[in-house]
Every structure is written in C-alpha cells, then in structure tokens.
Structure 1
Amino acid sequence: MDQDDPESIFSATTSVAGDRLTVVVTGEVDMLTADGMFQAATDEDARAVTLDLRGVTFFDSAAIHTLIRLAERFPTALEVIASAQVRRVLDISGLSGQPWLVRRD
C-alpha cells in the first residue's frame, strides 16, 4: 500500500437531496479511514443513505464492519453502490446478497 499513490487518498464527500444523504467515497477504506466513511454517512439528519463506493480501490475488514454498522443504523434505508474491488470483497465475505447492495454497472 503506497500512501503516495493518488488512488490511495481517501475522501468522502456528501450531498443531500430531500431526506437522502449521498456519500461518495474514493481511495482506500481501511482501519485508518473507515471511521471517516461512517462519520460522513451519519453526520446529517438523513433518513436514508446512499454510499457510492465506485471510486474505492481498497476495502478491508474495518470497511466491512463499517458497512454492517451502517446497515444496522439504516436497516431499510441504506443503498451501497460498489466498485468491482468492493464487490469482490463483499462476495468473498458472504455479503453479496445483502438487500442494501445494489447493482449499477
């Protein structure tokens, strides 16, 4: 993991439309950045959250734990759009069938 690589830089930007918060995450989501993703998704008073992970290049167990925490917080109102890398990790971890994981290829 090369921290000087531009793809490794983590960012989480938010936008709100009505009661839905959209969080666009890019770079690496790991034990150092997963809490930043959680904070971005829970800072607003939104009732629904879309987590756009199409720009994520690395996703580890801390990131998976954060997704589970978000699914618990928004049991019927979480939508996750995954990059190929994230989808592979979720497949391996047995989470690819979760209702919050949507396909947008």
Structure 2
Amino acid sequence: MSRAESKGRALAERDPGPMSSPVGAVVAEHTEQGLRIVTVRGTLDLSSSIHLTPVDASVRAVLLDLRGVDFLSSAGIATLLRVRNDVPSRAPLVAVADHQEVVRPFELSGLDRLIPVVPDLEAGRRRVG
C-alpha cells in the first residue's frame, strides 16, 4: 500500500464526530435575529468545503466564524469566494478570525477586501450592524 493510500484509508477510518464532514471540516450554522452565523472548524482545503444553506429574505447579514480553522489553503480561499458570491449583495458578509493561519492568507490573497476580517464575534456583530 502506498503512503497516499495509507493516508486516505486513515482519513476514511477516522470517526468524524457530530456535524463533521467526512474529510475534516466541521460546519455548524444558526440564525439569531436575522444574523446567520456559520462556524467552521478544522481544515479548509481541497478536500473540504462550506455548505451554506440558502439565505432567505429574513437573513440580514452573515458571519463566518473561522476561529477554529487550523489551515486555510488556496482551495479554501476559493470556497470562501464562492460563499461570498452566493450571499446576496444586500447581506453583509464578515469573517471572524483571530490567528495568522487564517488572517495571513486573507491578506495575501486580497480576500480581506471582499470579506472583511474581525477578531471576535462582537466586532463582527458591530460591523454588520
């Protein structure tokens, strides 16, 4: 068995736990007073993606809580761009991240100009109004 096959088998055999995708990212969503909060933990790379449910008319803004993301690759950035494109323009989208594993790729890619980054949920709530 090759190293890649062995790694793939180990990933397939890992118990993903509740709300986890089979490849490692954990996504949970809830809405409070019209504010959709999407919490992501784990790795955002080629093997993982964020699945936002459709934003209905009652959602006024979206916060992406990325404080639990431990790795953000270029494919993860592409996923976040798709999220930005899927959220209606009338609904502000803000990312919450407090560590360089997420903040630095946002800055280097220019993603922070499309999705502003704040350090905590309270700052995010203030930013979206």
For the pair shown, the structure with the greater C-alpha radius of gyration is 2
**Equivalent residue for 1:92?**
108
Name the CA distance, whole Å, in 1 between partners of 2:55 and 2:110: 30
Q: 2:79 aligns with which of 50, 66, 87?
A: 66
Q: 1:42 aligns with which of 33, 53, 66?
A: 53
Of all paired residues, the percent bearing the same amino acid is 32
TM-score (norm 1): 0.74
**Equivalent residue for 1:57?**
70
- Verify the 8 A CA contact 1:70 1:78 in the aligned structure 2: no
Query: How far 1:33 sits from its partner (Å)?
Result: 1.1
Query: How far 1:50 sits from its partner (Å)?
Result: 0.7
Name the CA distance, whole Å, in 2 between partners of 1:66 and 1:20: 21
After superposition, the Cα gap between the structure-2 partners of 1:10 and 1:18, relative to the gap in structure 1 and judged at 3 Å, is: same
Q: Judging by fraction of residues, say which structure has more strand.
A: 1
TM-score (norm 2): 0.62
Runs of 5+ consecutive residues of structure 2 not aligned to the other structure: 1-6, 15-22, 121-129
* RMSD of Structure 2 on Structure 1 (CA): 2.6
Query: How far 1:69 sits from its partner (Å)?
Result: 1.5
